Amino acid sequence: MAIEVRIPTILRTYTGGEKAVTGEGASLSALIDDLESSHPGLKDRLIEDGDLRRFVNVYVNDEDVRFIGGLDAELSDGDQIVVLPAVAGG
């Protein structure tokens, strides 16, 4: 089972500069744990206090994961994941 994850510029320090990496997992939470094992440090940039960080957006097949279960969102082989930091400020 392979799921492609698009990594934003600011997090490519964790992926050796790679724009996209692959991982596996039946849920977003499991996928992030799997990514952490090959790209240590990544998880902490995505998750805070057991939930997705407020200003990090994760999309599964173009859907904001917050609308489809958040970290519990179910994933399938071939899903396309995109991680994008929010563009926001004060």
Partner 1 sequence: MVLTIARATYDAIVAHARRDHPDEACGIVAGPEGSDRPERLVEMVNAAGSPTFYEFDSTELLQLYKEMWARDEEPVVVYHSHTATEAYPSRTDIGLASEPGAHYVLVSTQHCTDPSEGNNEGPVEFRSYRIVDGEVTEEEVAVVDELTPSNEE
Q: Which residues bind partner 1 (CB under 8 A)?
A: 8-10, 55, 57, 59, 62, 64, 66, 82, 84-90
- Min dist CB 75 to partner 1, Å, is 17
- Min dist CB 27 to partner 1, Å, is 20
Q: b or e along 52-89 (b: 16 or more beta carbons within 10 Å of the residue's beta carbon)?
A: beeebbbbbeeeebeeeeebebebeeebebbbeeeeee
Cα 90 to chain centroid distance, Å, stands at 25
- Considering the complex, state which of residue 9 and residue 16 has its C-beta at the smaller distance from partner 1: 9
- Min dist CB 25 to partner 1, Å, is 21
- Considering the complex, state which of residue 1 and residue 82 has its C-beta at the smaller distance from partner 1: 82
How far is the CA of 17 from the CAs of 9, 20, 21, 28, in angstroms? Answer: 8, 9, 10, 22
- Considering the complex, state which of residue 15 and residue 57 has its C-beta at the smaller distance from partner 1: 57
